[in-house]
Amino acid sequence: MTAADADAPLDRALVEEATKKSGLVWVRGTGPARALWHVWFDGAAYLVGDGPGEQPFPPGLTDGATVEVTVRSKDKGGRLVAWTAAVTEPAPRSEEWEAAVGELRTKRLNAPDAERMPERWARECRVLRLTPGEVRTRLPDGSLAAAPLPTHATTRRPVPAGLPRLLKRGRKG
């Protein structure tokens, strides 16, 4: 038995616990990594996305691909562990798909159509299973910081015209 064989159960436990507790994982396919929300279920991370109103998947996140997953600490935000994952896409409405969607549905926040969400996901989105492979316990020395990906989302808008007057009026009292 080699040292790597002895560490394998500990590595798997680290992947499972870190991924369960983290709200986001960073997934890199063929392009830049993207932060994705997920659920840990049945020994794998499940994702839903690539449809209207859902998270976009990074390029290369397709059935049969191998991707790199980096898990961050929920409290500090730093990298805990990185692992390779085999990507599979369960057929919509299959037994595996239904079980995964049951878990994903409970974690999906702010859904506009909570009751009809599984039907929409079957029709318009993709549900993926990321099964852990090789665990990389040695993390890179550098920061791996990258420029943010382009997005249509924004939080900046012009200040409403009446806001300065409202703020000034509030100070008089």
pLDDT of 55-91, one tens digit each? 999 999 999 999 999 998 888 878 889 999 999 999 9
Which residue is it, tokens 């090789």?
134
pTM for the predicted model, two decimal places: 0.79
Per-residue pLDDT, 137: 66
Higher pLDDT, 45 or 168: 45
Find the helix or strand (DSSP H, E) in which 132 lies.
strand 126-136
Domains of the chain: 3-146 (2.30.110.10)
Instruction: Report CA torsion sign: 95, 97, 103, 105.
Output: negative
The stretch 18-43 carries a mean pLDDT of 93
Per-residue pLDDT, 162: 82
pLDDT of 97-110, one tens digit each? 999 999 999 998 88
DSSP 5-32: HHHHHHHHHHHHHHHHH-SEEEEESSSS
Find the helix or strand (DSSP H, E) in which 102 lies.
helix 95-107
**Per-residue pLDDT at 173 exceeds 70:** no
**Per-residue pLDDT at 4 exceeds 70:** no
Taking CA 103 as the corner, what is the angle to CA 97 and CA 105, rounded to the nearest 5 degrees? 95
Q: How far apart are CA 70 and CA 81, in angstroms?
A: 6
